[in-house]
Amino acid sequence: MIKVLIAEDQGMLLGALAAMLELEEDLSVVARASNGKEALKLAAEFNPDVVVTDIEMPAMTGLELAAALKDKNPATRVIIVTTFARPGYLRRALDAGVKGYLLKDAPAEQLANAIRKVHQGGKVIAPELATEAWDTEDPLNERERQVLRLAGDGLTSADIAKQLFLSEGTVRNYLSEAIGKLGAGNRIEAARIARQKGWL
Amino acid sequence: MIKVLIAEDQGMLLGALAAMLELEEDLSVVARASNGKEALKLAAEFNPDVVVTDIEMPAMTGLELAAALKDKNPATRVIIVTTFARPGYLRRALDAGVKGYLLKDAPAEQLANAIRKVHQGGKVIAPELATEAWDTEDPLNERERQVLRLAGDGLTSADIAKQLFLSEGTVRNYLSEAIGKLGAGNRIEAARIARQKGWL
DNA sequence: ATTTGTGGATGACGAATGTCACATGACGTC
DNA sequence: GACGTCATGTGACATTCGTCATCCACAAAT
């Protein structure tokens, strides 16, 4: 009997996944969490074989959860189930020792099999991501990321400068750099691109 | 036996919801669709009592689906299940005669009951939305919306002008109007606000 | 002790943006 | 036909943005 913990902030999906997995005879959903922090606590308590987790959650993301589990529950395998086909996410997930990375777009039937495969020591990566160009590196440095995040929310250079304790000119320099690196035409497009790649 | 059709583009959720609802003795999932268009076709074929649908889907959104069903399958009740707590969406949904509007954040257990209630002629609106301030009107006109959509993607005024066959000055005028109406400081913030409200 | 690198600041310039007042023409209404 | 009004343009102006060359301070490397 494979003990499964599910971490997912969308109640609807959490409940539905749990119901679906309970139909499998060799799986048992021993705990549910609606964010990473809760999942970590429950993992310590129930010691699940496999953790199925979303990425974007309040309090603690699935990526942070994976990293923490690698440390505290090294025997527990982690499968990420997310909406986002972003190279940055996949890379960070693999770095955190994640064994599975599935997209919510994929048919639900795949999940049970992925759990079994990962439980047996295998790896399951969504085929859309396993291929080629998904190893694009994040070309931005920390400052550029910060500045771009704020710019993407509509703050002016002056506002950003105030928040980050930089001069306005410096902010413009970083933005200019980021725009160039991303091949964008302006800050808006740059922010869009970076977000879409999972770099923000 | 209540006949249910589910339309949802995330395969994972679609499958999981179907599995969960099939556990209910008085419900039967007669068809599944991954977009509105497909759902409309299947609805004509299976004549479901209740359609459970997401909003943001390719080909045809859940809101468009609801409007079309109101016309072609007036007896079919529609329940929207979406991530987005946006006033614009709820308003449009109600205008399309939708009987239920639930958030994916809500516990999954609610769904079966919502289906029963709606099937009996009732209405189910997520409590977070049923309250007050959710009737904020969209102050934008069609042109302003178009222009803002493109501006939000990082196009310059000149690009937008070309796409919409307007002069650049006119584009700037519309943007200026939109920025003013939304109380924003620039086009980026304006686009962010409008999107968040579900007006784009 | 000099070189090199890095993070940040400055100043200047042209381009894009935001604002406003006003013009034009199409359409409906009285 | 005179009158609003609605969509679109125009021109002018101040501000913000994007770019680039250059400079400064400080730390690490040699």
Residue-wise pLDDT for A151-188, tens only, equals 999 999 999 999 999 999 999 999 999 999 999 999 99
**Matching residue, tokens 């955190």:** A96
Q: What percent of chain A has pLDDT over 70?
A: 97
Dist. CA A73–CA A131, nearest whole Å: 30
Give the alpha-carbon dihedral of A58, A62, A66, A68, to 10 degrees.
Answer: -10
The partner residue sitting opposite A185, judged by closest CB among B13, B14, B154, is: B154
The CATH fold assigned to B2-134 is Rossmann fold (3.40.50)
In eight-state DSSP terms, residue B190 is: H
Q: Is the CB of A181 under 7 A from strand D?
A: no
In this structure, are residues B107 and B81 in contact, taking their beta carbons and an 8 Å threshold? no
pLDDT recorded at residue A34: 95
Closest CA to A78 of A63, A57, A59: A63
- What residues pair up with B29 in beta bridges, in sequence order? B4
ipTM above 0.85, yes or no: no
Sorted by sequence, the CB contacts under 8 Å of residue B86 that are 6+ apart come out as B196, B197, B198
pLDDT recorded at residue A131: 66
pLDDT recorded at residue B116: 96
CB contact under 8 A, A12 and B152: no
Q: Is the CB of A167 under 7 A from strand D?
A: no
pLDDT recorded at residue B131: 67
**What angle is formed at CA B147 by the lines to CA B144 and CA B149, rounded to 5 degrees?**
105
Question: Residue B72 CA to D25 C1' — how many Å?
Answer: 73
In this complex, how many residue pairs, one in chain A and one in chain B, have their CB atoms less than 8 Å apart?
A: 110
In eight-state DSSP terms, residue A133 is: G
pLDDT recorded at residue A33: 96
Q: What is the residue extent of each domain of chain B?
A: 2-134, 142-197
Q: Considering only alpha carbons, which residue of chain A is nearest residue B192?
A: A153
CB contact under 8 A, A188 and B106: no
Mean pLDDT along residues A74-94 = 89
Q: Which of B12, B20, B56, B115 best tests the A interface by mutation, with the highest count of A CBs <10 A?
A: B12
Sorted by sequence, the CB contacts under 8 Å of residue A139 that are 6+ apart come out as A181, A182
Question: Residue B140 CA to C21 C1' — how many Å?
Answer: 22
The CATH fold assigned to B142-197 is Arc Repressor Mutant, subunit A (1.10.10)
Closest CA to A27 of A17, A36, A39: A17
- In angstroms, the separation between the Cα of residue A175 and the nearest Cα of chain B is 14
How confident is the model over B154-188, as pLDDT tens digits?
999 999 999 999 999 999 999 999 999 999 889 99
pLDDT recorded at residue A68: 94
Does the pLDDT value for residue A97 go beyond 80? Answer: yes
- To 10 degrees, what angle do helices A168-182 and A157-164 make? 110
Q: What string of pLDDT tens digits covers the 200 residues of chain B?
A: 999 999 999 999 999 999 999 999 999 999 999 999 999 999 999 999 999 999 999 999 999 999 999 999 999 999 999 998 887 888 889 889 999 999 999 999 999 999 999 999 999 998 888 765 566 778 888 899 999 999 999 999 999 999 999 999 999 999 999 999 999 889 999 999 999 888 88
Q: Considering only alpha carbons, which residue of chain B is nearest residue A108?
A: B12
Closest CA to B195 of B155, B132, B153, B157: B153
The partner residue sitting opposite A11, judged by closest CB among B14, B107, B191, is: B107
Interface of B with A (CB under 8 A): 9-20, 23, 81, 83, 102-109, 111, 151-154, 156, 184-192
Residue nearest to nucleotide D17 (CA to C1'): A172
Dist. CA B190–CA B181, nearest whole Å: 9
**What angle is formed at CA A51 by the lines to CA A90 and CA A44, rounded to 5 degrees?**
125
pLDDT recorded at residue B133: 53
CB < 7 A contacts with chain C (nucleic strand): A 141, 143, 166-167, 169-170, 172-173, 186; B 151, 156-158, 169, 172-173, 175-176, 179-180, 186-188
How high is the mean pLDDT of chain A? Answer: 91
Q: Which nucleotide is nearest to A184 (CA to C1')?
A: D18
Question: Residue A18 CA to D8 C1' — how many Å?
Answer: 56
Number of H helices, E strands in chain B: 10, 6
- To 10 degrees, what angle do helices A187-197 and A168-182 make? 60
Question: Residue B169 CA to D3 C1' — how many Å?
Answer: 28
